[in-house]
Each structure stands twice: as structure tokens, then as C-alpha cells.
């Protein structure tokens, strides 16, 4: 993949204002090898200082880390700054092979890590992710918070990524958000954690089996075999491992927890 000189045009499709930062088409740590994912960040810059006070840092880097740090900046006003067309140092080490520096695009949104997000900035954030998904043929599930693909990072703060991705998906598909009753049902479902022991664990087992994600080796050692395995109410290590591999197959964070994001494909709603 060459330098991504189409990024400014993609950004303009959001309808939000775009600033092409001088030299962006040749800026990068070499060309961008591929685009498999999108990583959302906050700058942790100053609380004030205008629309995008972190521009200099994101473009030029900081002591110990050369710029560019991300392809895009996102100002408080919803203005999109196109900073680099090549590879950027925005996520290393990555827990996801689709979200490392060679495989993903970075967006650094101006926020000091505590202040509330202006609605117009959030709107632009979702729209930019949606247009990038369209451009590179990615599902909304490939849009991740930095904190979801790097265990030592907190950003972007306070954004519910399940809701964020649902909004991106709706924009990509040009369709309204999922029916509210479906969302309500999903909110009512319990979160199943490693070590839990209750009847909802049996539902997880039954769904995993129905979706073809329980290999015979999983119940080979269990008394009564598959029937005994399906009856167990314990969320043991073996089940957690199967949940993780199911999450990986669905492009979800493989945290081993069965929450709303994981229930949805398990129940096929």
C-alpha cells in the first residue's frame, strides 16, 4: 500500500471541515503497509488552547517518540486535521494484530483526558470512522479504542465503544440504529465472568455449541461427555478459552467476558 493520499478526500465526505496540514501527503514512517483497523485516541493535551493545540506534538512527535503520531487530528469544533499519509506511531505494543502501527490508522482527538466531549466533536469522530470503514472495506467492529488494543492506555476517556461502533455501523450501512427493543434486551442480559456459577452460564454453553464453537476436545474429559459439559453452570477456564476464541472469530476484544458485545453474536440478534 502506498502513501494514503486519498485521506483528505475521505475526511471531506463527513461534511465536517477539513484542514490539510502542510506536507501531509509525504509524512509518515514510510508508507502505510495496510489498513485493517482504526484506533481512536485522545491527545491528553492541554485543557484549553483553541481547537487543536496538540497539532505540533501529533505532527512532530515528543521526546522519545518521533512524529507523526497519527494520521488524523480531531479538533474540539469537529474540524478534521489530515496530518500524515504514511505509517504513524500511535499504538505499540498492540494486543491486536489488526491495530498495530503497520495495520491501522490513528485518530488523535483533542481532549485532556477528563473534559467532556463536545457533541460536534463526537459526531465528527463517528463520521470519520464510518467514512474510513467505507473507504477501506472494514466492518465497524474494526474501530477500537486505544484502551481496547493496548492494556496500558486509558483513551479515549468515557466513550462507550459499543454504542460508538453501533453508531458507526449505522452510518456505514446508511441505516437507522438497531431497534431500541433489541438494545433494551441486550442491556438486561447478565455479564458472565470467569469463575461465575449460575444458570446463565448454561446459556453461554448452549449458544457456543449451537454456533459450532465447541470442539469435541472441550468435553472429551467430562463425565457424560457433551451432555455433562452443557449442563455445567460453572464458567471455568475451559469455557473462558472458548469464549475468547469465539470473540476473536467475531472480531471482538477477546476479554473472555460475556457482555452485550458478545451476547449479540451468541444470540444472533
**Cα–Cα distance measured from residue 253 to residue 83, given in angstroms and rounded to the nearest whole number:** 28
Contact between 144 and Zn ion by CB under 5 A: the answer reads no
Q: Are residues 164 and 155 in contact, defined by beta-carbon separation less than 8 angstroms?
A: no
Query: Among the candidate windows 67-75, 76-84, 151-159, 174-182, which touches Zn ion by CB under 5 A?
Result: 151-159
Cα dihedral 69, 70, 75, 76, rounded to 10, equals -80
Q: Are strands 143-145 and 37-42 parallel, antiparallel or unpaired?
A: parallel
Contact between 110 and Zn ion by CB under 5 A: the answer reads no
Find cell 452510518 and name the residue: 171
Contact between 146 and Zn ion by CB under 5 A: the answer reads yes
In the complex, what is the shortest distance from the CB of residue 131 to Zn ion, in angstroms, rounded to a whole number?
21
> Which positions from 155 through 174 interact with Zn ion, judged by CB under 5 A?
155
Query: Among the candidate windows 141-149, 198-206, 209-217, 243-251, which touches Zn ion by CB under 5 A?
Result: 141-149
In the complex, what is the shortest distance from the CB of residue 171 to Zn ion, in angstroms, rounded to a whole number?
23
For Zn ion, give the closer residue by CB, 16 or 146. Answer: 146
Contact between 27 and Zn ion by CB under 5 A: the answer reads no
CA angle 36-253-202, nearest 5°? Answer: 140
Reading the block at residue 194, the C-alpha cell is 470467569
**Cα–Cα distance measured from residue 87 to residue 74, given in angstroms and rounded to the nearest whole number:** 18
In the complex, what is the shortest distance from the CB of residue 40 to Zn ion, in angstroms, rounded to a whole number?
8
> Which positions from 37 through 66 interact with Zn ion, judged by CB under 5 A?
41
Residues that bind Zn ion (CB under 5 A): 41, 146, 155
Amino acid at each position: 500500500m502506498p502513501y494514503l493520499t486519498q485521506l483528505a478526500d475521505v475526511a471531506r465526505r463527513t461534511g465536517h471541515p477539513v484542514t490539510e496540514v502542510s506536507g501531509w501527503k509525504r509524512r509518515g514512517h514510510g508508507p502505510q503497509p495496510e489498513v485493517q483497523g482504526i484506533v481512536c485516541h485522545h491527545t491528553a493535551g492541554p485543557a484549553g488552547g483553541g481547537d487543536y493545540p496538540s497539532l505540533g506534538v501529533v505532527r512532530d512527535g515528543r521526546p522519545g517518540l518521533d512524529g507523526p503520531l497519527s494520521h488524523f487530528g480531531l479538533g474540539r469544533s469537529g474540524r478534521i486535521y489530515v496530518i500524515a499519509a504514511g505509517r504513524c506511531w500511535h499504538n505499540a505494543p498492540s494486543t491486536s494484530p489488526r491495530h498495530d502501527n503497520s495495520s491501522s490508522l490513528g485518530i488523535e482527538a483533542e481532549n485532556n483526558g477528563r473534559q467532556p466531549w463536545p457533541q460536534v466533536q463526537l459526531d465528527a469522530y463517528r463520521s470519520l470512522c464510518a467514512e474510513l470503514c467505507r473507504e477501506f472495506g472494514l466492518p465497524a467492529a474494526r474501530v477500537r479504542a486505544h484502551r481496547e488494543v493496548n492494556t496500558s492506555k486509558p483513551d479515549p476517556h468515557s466513550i462507550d465503544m459499543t454504542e460508538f461502533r453501533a453508531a458507526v455501523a449505522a452510518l456505514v450501512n446508511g441505516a437507522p440504529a438497531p431497534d431500541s427493543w433489541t438494545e433494551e434486551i441486550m442491556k438486561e442480559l447478565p455479564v458472565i465472568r470467569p469463575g461465575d456459577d449460575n444458570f446463565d452460564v448454561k446459556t453461554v454453553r448452549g449458544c457456543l455449541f449451537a454456533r459450532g464453537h465447541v470442539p469435541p476436545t472441550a468435553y472429551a474429559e467430562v463425565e457424560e461427555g457433551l451432555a455433562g459439559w452443557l449442563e455445567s453452570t460453572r464458567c471455568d477456564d475451559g469455557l473462558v478459552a472458548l469464549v475468547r476464541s469465539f470473540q476473536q472469530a467475531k472480531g471482538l476484544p477477546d476479554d473472555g467476558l460475556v457482555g452485550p458485545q458478545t451476547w449479540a453474536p451468541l444470540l444472533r440478534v
